[in-house]
Structure 1
Amino acid sequence: MSFIPQYSIIIPAAGIGKRMQSVVPKQYLLLAGKTIIEQTISGLLAHPQIKRVVIVLSAKDETFHTLPVANDPRVETTIGGKERSDSVLAGLHYLSNSHEKWVLVHDAARPCLLHKDLTRLLRLAEKSDLGGILATPVRDTMKRANANNLVAHTEPRENLWHALTPQFFMLEQLRNALIKAAENNIVITDEASAIEYVQQGVHIVEGCASNIKVTKPEDLLLAEFYLTQRTLSHKDKK
């Protein structure tokens, strides 16, 4: 039997999701019968190359440990920080003594990740020491606005991509990049931007546009549609 490499994945989940206009953090909103974060975790753990999921929580979180998925031995938790980058760094520190060479980072509110996209991203570890991200090419016309919210100009969309997650890098490389960015007060919006800051390469792996991030109320309906279609597709294949 051939060896199949397995990886750990960090899910920063210490945010409150203001844009969802909800009294609870968006990861705990219901989606197709489960919370969003449960859907996300279940999808990841169903992939044969994911061995562990580290959920980075707010110190004030009182919900996650009440969820059934929290009892899965492959699910571990640690405490995060104010910003996403702080929480990712906390997750990296948590894993630093476990001899992990590579690590994934995925948004808690992206429950529709396809296994085939994750498999393609993980293949980067077989090719080089450069990690990468899932992304989709920009298809719409892109406008740059000025301070008065008027169009300043049209941005060429050639070679423009929407960054998705998971993002996949060597653990120590990512940890060092995040630490250096923090020391210099650099705003980090995703893991790739930290790697870019230290001038190291990032591969782009094209992923499916259905890998949406639930950010606004209307995203819940779309995410439920994708999850339902996936369930129906799996039943048809049995």
Structure 2
Amino acid sequence: MTSRLFALIPCAGTGSRSGAALPKQYRTIAGRDMLHFSLAAFDACSEFAQTLVVIAPDDRHFDAGRFAGLRYAVRRCGGASRQASVFNGLNALAEFDARDDDWVLVHDAARPGITPEMIRSLIGAVKDDPVGGIMALPVADTLKRIATDGTTRIARTEQRNGLWQAQTPQMFRIGLLREAILRAQTEGHDLTDEASAIEWIGHAPHLVQGSLRNFKVTYPEDFELADAILSAGASLQVE
């Protein structure tokens, strides 16, 4: 049987670094909730069997009316961490007949610059890969490591050769990713993305060139940049 595609968008975070009381996924950018742009990009890819949004059980901000016309489902199974939300979401996909050998693309709701073209480029590059892969960008800036004495003085310069900045979506088989997260949790490993879980159990995910447009909205000043990019329309390409 042919493997199917599922999308999983963990959306249970509070966005504390954004400097706002409202979770950042519901902040308005270019006239829409930030979450809308990720949902719209996956909705435009008809090859997906289901897109699942994972929100916190006590989320009072989610309003389905703001995402009318888009194909997705919601489950209030978010956890205290990203890895818990993703793990719970993987289990919830079973409600939609997802199998262990089906693919899941996990995407940050805080990356509203994602486009259907980026999603399909990842699928095209990874669909025949034995492990899976992620979108990422080669590091262009010089990297500085600060001292460990509590100051902000430079301790040393890190070599950037061979370093890539991870983005999302990150695409893996559902069963493999569930196994990896469960093992990492059991062994006390704190995950920051899905690829690190896959690496933890000895696999080497594939890297697929991403885009600066697909940056993660994290700090207060990021909202203005995202608004400018998205307000300019899908034709704007940031390279």
What TM-score results when the alignment is normalised by the length of structure 2?
A: 0.89
Q: Residue 192 of structure 1 corresponds to which residue in structure 2? A: 195
Task: Tell me, yes or no, if the aligned pair for 1:6 and 1:48 is still in contact at 8 Å.
Answer: no
The aligned residue for residue 225 of structure 1 is 228
Report if aligned partners of 1:14, 1:56 keep a CA contact under 8 Å in 2: yes
User: 2: CA distance between counterparts of 1:196 and 1:168?
Assistant: 13
Name the amino acid aligned to 1:213.
K
1:39 maps to a residue whose letter is: F
Once the two structures are superposed, the pairs formed by residues 142-157 of structure 1 within 5 Å of their partners are 142-148=143-149, 149-157=152-160
Match of 2:65 among 61, 64, 67: 67
1:126 aligns with 127
Task: Please tell me the root mean square deviation across aligned C-alpha atoms, in Å.
Answer: 2.1
Contact 1:47 1:115 in 2 (8 A): yes
* 3-state SS in 1 of match to 2:161: coil
Q: Judge conservation of contact 2:114–2:214 (CA < 8 Å) in 1.
A: yes
- Same amino acid, percent of matched pairs: 35
Query: Residue 205 of structure 1 aligns with which residue?
Result: 208
Mapped to 2, the partners of 1:14 and 1:176 lie a distance apart of 22
The unaligned stretches of length 5 or more in structure 2 are: none
Residues in 2 aligned to 1:84 and 1:22: alpha-carbon distance in whole angstroms: 19
Q: Which residue of 1 aligns with 2:31?
A: 33
Distance 1:160 1:71, change over 3 A: same
**Number of residue equivalences:** 231
2:164 to 144, 161, 164: 161
Taking the aligned partners of 1:210 and 1:108, their CA distance within structure 2 comes to 14
Shift of 1:33: 0.8
Q: Which residues of structure 1 form unaligned runs of 5+?
A: none
Question: Which residue matches 2:141?
Answer: 140
Partner in structure 1 of residue 98 of structure 2:
99
TM (norm. structure 1) is 0.90
Distance in 2 of aligned mates of 1:70 and 1:193:
34
